[in-house]
Amino acid sequence: MVCLDTTFLIDIADGDQKALALWAGLEEEKTIVATTFLNIGEIEVGLLQRDGPQAERAAFEEFLSEIAILWPTNQTPRIYAGMVASAIRRGRRPSIVDAWIAAIARSNGHPVVITRDRGYSGLDGIEVRKY
């Protein structure tokens, strides 16, 4: 089970070859994929800033219909706090939004995050798969 980060979703939409190859592999392996409501919000901001055309919005909505959308669970705040506190104790300053995404993914049983973003470095309890 994997959680797709915003960078991956954008790269899929933009036709990035590395992202598309990874997506094809996930489909071939029948991997359960998801993203969080936060990632969707970040994409929506981008679409609104660019006044994204209807075709672009329709393609995004179609893509979302194929994956699960993750929401916080009762354990998410504790997982988030543990991840961030541990990173800070080790001198790291993780991205707050990325830490929430990681905690939501982990609390929903999706311990792998696919991204090209560095904001996840130093967070315990998740595996970051870069492409």
- CATH of residue 53: 3.40.50.1010
Residue 34 in 3-state DSSP? Answer: strand
State the pLDDT at residue 52. 61
State the pLDDT at residue 80. 98
Residue 68 in 3-state DSSP? Answer: strand
According to DSSP, residue 49 is labeled H
Distance of alpha carbon 50 from alpha carbon 44, whole angstroms: 10
Of the chain, the percentage scoring pLDDT greater than 90 comes to 76
Q: What's at 33, amino acid-wise?
A: V
> Would you place residue 121 in the very low, low, confident or very high pLDDT band (cuts 50, 70, 90)?
confident
What's the maximum distance between 2 C-alpha atoms anywhere in the chain? 46
Average pLDDT (78-102) is 96
CB 120 within 8 A of CB 94: yes
Distance of alpha carbon 3 from alpha carbon 106, whole angstroms: 9
Q: Report pLDDT digits (tens) over 37-89.
A: 999 999 989 888 876 677 788 888 898 998 999 999 999 999 999 999 999 99
CB 111 within 8 A of CB 126: yes
Range of the domain at 107: 2-129
**Total of domains in the chain:** 1
Distance of alpha carbon 59 from alpha carbon 15, whole angstroms: 13
